[in-house]
A and B are shown apart, each in its own frame.
Chain A
Amino acid sequence: MMRLRSSIDRWGLVARILHWGMFLLFGVTVFIGFYMVDLPRGFAKYQVYSRHKSLGITLLVLAVMRWLWRLIDTAPGRPVMPRWQSIMSSAMVAALYVVMLVIPLSGWLYNSAAGFPLQWFGYIHWPALLDANPSIKVIARQVHEAAVYIFMGLLLVHIAAACKHHWVDRDDIMRRMLPFR
């Protein structure tokens, strides 16, 4: 039977769906983000920006759900590993959890400071964080981009670590998060 909650040796269904769902959505959103900024001004650019923002807001909501679920759920235990590895692992996870919030939050802040309205996929009105503000706009823009690069760096380490566990240490760290067994 599929388990929603995690157990000692396996991530539950909710955790796995959030993990892989966000992985895919993040990929799409980052791709659109880099692609859209160089588009010539016009309707197409406007539409692509709107999609990017809606996807980003979706990721923000998912990130908040993931935070909450992580607090409710009990994560599987760690195999025995050196102390430095255990500290690094906790730091990595903490950093990922922070940056996955910072990216969409800074995007939302940027959009608000730029004085732009936002509707989630054209259906739900999404409020602005503050009034148009040129100086906050510049900062939020830089944070948004920097956070994406930091996140991609963290992700690289994260994936490398998963692969090392799977193929070098031959433990089940990777397998227990895989979507299917």
Chain B
Amino acid sequence: MGQWLRRVLIVWLSVVVWMLPAHAVAPLYRVMKSQSALSFIGLQQGDKFTGVFKDFDATIHYAATDLPGSSLDVVIHLPSLDTRSLERDQALISAEWFDVGRFPDARFRTVAIRQTTSGPVGDADLTIKGRTKRIAFPFVWKPTAGGATLDARVNLNRLDFGLGAGEWADAGIIGHSVEVVVHLVLTAVPPVAVPAAQPTRR
């Protein structure tokens, strides 16, 4: 291999290494938990009730210009559920509903994010109670100073995940459709400087 060819190769490799972390994934964001809420609205005996999951972890990579490198990955810790009723909460974590003893976490993970005329839509795998369902997740992403907000509303059918099957399946007692309302306040995490990945300029 000639001297010249070796130099070209080294420069090319350096450029590739430099570009890798920047382009394999879009910028990372961290959730400001105190300002964010993962809530849901259900219907019980014709009355709306609202619940929140107080504890969840989210890994969010997003850039409108780099959807292939963007992803949303959220793990929801179900025992942190709160519907402002002790009795209802106790029922919801029991085996007939979320069964948190066996399935303490739910997971939401996008496999792809695509741009539509009305905004970005995630195709996501949602796993609750051991059952995974592919859902469309349209969301609104608004850049803010130092971060962004992510807002979304999705309707789920609780029976798709075996929540309240059997006798509880009666929609007159607990409605089948549950609206999930997501409001995340995010701060951008500065990319970690990796010395080895710095460009070698000559």
What residues of chain A have their CB less than 8 Å away from a CB belonging to chain B? 41-44, 46, 50, 114-119, 122, 125, 132, 134
Kindly list chain B residues whose C-beta atoms are within 8 Å of the C-beta of A43. 96, 166-168
B41-97 residues at the A interface, CB under 8 angstroms: 44-47, 49, 83-88, 90-91, 94, 96
Count residues of chain B with CB under 8 A from any CB of chain A: 20
Given contacts A43-B96, A125-B47, contact A114 B167 (CB under 8 A): no
* Contact sample, A vs B, 11 pairs, CB 8 Å cutoff: A41-B90, A41-B91, A42-B94, A42-B96, A43-B167, A43-B168, A46-B91, A117-B46, A117-B49, A125-B46, A132-B84
B134-160 residues at the A interface, CB under 8 angstroms: none
Q: What is the bound-complex CA distance between A118 and B44, given in angstroms? A: 9
Do A114 and B46 touch (CB < 8 A)? no
Kindly list chain B residues whose C-beta atoms are within 8 Å of the C-beta of A50. 45
Q: Does B101 contact A (CB under 8 A)?
A: no
CB of A154 to closest CB in B, whole Å = 30
Q: What is the bound-complex CA distance between A125 and B47, given in angstroms? A: 8
Do A115 and B45 touch (CB < 8 A)? no
Kindly list chain A residues whose C-beta atoms are within 8 Å of the C-beta of B83. 115
Q: What is the bound-complex CA distance between A134 and B85, given in angstroms? A: 9
Residue of B nearest to A117 (CB): B47
Q: Does B172 contact A (CB under 8 A)?
A: yes
Kindly list chain B residues whose C-beta atoms are within 8 Å of the C-beta of A46. 91, 173
What residues of chain B have their CB less than 8 Å away from a CB belonging to chain A? 44-47, 49, 83-88, 90-91, 94, 96, 166-168, 172-173
Q: What is the bound-complex CA distance between A117 and B172, given in angstroms? A: 12
Do B167 and A118 touch (CB < 8 A)? no
CB of A2 to closest CB in B, whole Å = 39
Q: What is the bound-complex CA distance between A116 and B86, given in angstroms? A: 10
Do B46 and A115 touch (CB < 8 A)? no
CB of B101 to closest CB in A, whole Å = 14
Do A116 and B168 touch (CB < 8 A)? no
CB of A135 to closest CB in B, whole Å = 13
